[in-house]
Amino acid sequence: MALQDKYKELIDAAKSSGTTNLQVAEQDGVLHIDGEAPSGAVKDQLWDIYGKIDPNFLAGDVVMNINVATAVAGAKLTVTTDSTNLNIRKGPGTDQPIVGKAAHNEVVSLISKQSDQWWLIRTDGGAEGYAYAQYLTPVE
């Protein structure tokens, strides 16, 4: 039995639960499952399914590297520009007008992720718009 068939329930659950950056690859008789779960509850659910398939985790045929997303809606983010302000734009793109700025090291709130590059944020001062995700780091 192919490993992807053996662990189909686990892979399907990861897909349906909103796990992002999901990568499933079989190499040298080991199935590698990597991704980012939207919450701790989803990660727990995936481990529960894995435990049901291989109750004592003895098969050694899966490496599951699922992390919990730190940048989820409502999360606090720090502006990590080199020293300048971060432009907040009306839409996701450098062609969009600037509607506000967030200072270097300012903490802002994540509203949603438009893409891996553009996140919708809100400053404590109320400015709301899209910022380049490269300059935003989740507050630990």
Last residue of a domain, one of 49, 68, 87: 68
Looking at the fold, whether 103 and 47 belong to one and the same domain comes out as no
What pLDDT shows up at residue 103?
95
What is the SS3 assignment for 1? Answer: coil
Looking at the fold, whether 134 and 96 belong to one and the same domain comes out as yes
Is the distance from CB of 107 to CB of 74 less than 8 angstroms? no
> Any idea what the CATH number is for the domain that residue 80 is in?
2.30.30.40
User: Which tokens go with 97?
Assistant: 């007008």
The answer to whether the predicted template modeling score (pTM) of the entire model surpasses 0.75 is no
pLDDT tens, residue by residue, 4-44: 999 999 999 999 988 888 999 999 999 999 988 877 788 88
Looking at the fold, whether 47 and 10 belong to one and the same domain comes out as yes
Give 35 or 1, the one with higher predicted confidence: 35
Looking at the fold, whether 100 and 129 belong to one and the same domain comes out as yes
> What is the mean predicted confidence (pLDDT) over 99-123?
91
Give 12 or 115, the one with higher predicted confidence: 12
User: Which tokens go with 110?
Assistant: 């994540």
Looking at the fold, whether 12 and 46 belong to one and the same domain comes out as yes
Last residue of a domain, one of 68, 89, 112: 68
Q: Which domain holds residue 120?
A: 76-138
At which residue do the structure tokens 């949603």 appear? 112
What pLDDT shows up at residue 38?
79
> Any idea what the CATH number is for the domain that residue 35 is in?
3.30.460.10
**What is residue 94's DSSP assignment?**
T
Between CA 114 and CA 18, with CA 14 as vertex, the angle to 5 degrees is 20
pLDDT tens, residue by residue, 55-109: 888 888 999 988 877 677 778 999 999 889 999 999 998 999 999 999 999 999 9
What domain count does the chain have?
2
Last residue of a domain, one of 15, 41, 68: 68
Looking at the fold, whether 61 and 89 belong to one and the same domain comes out as no
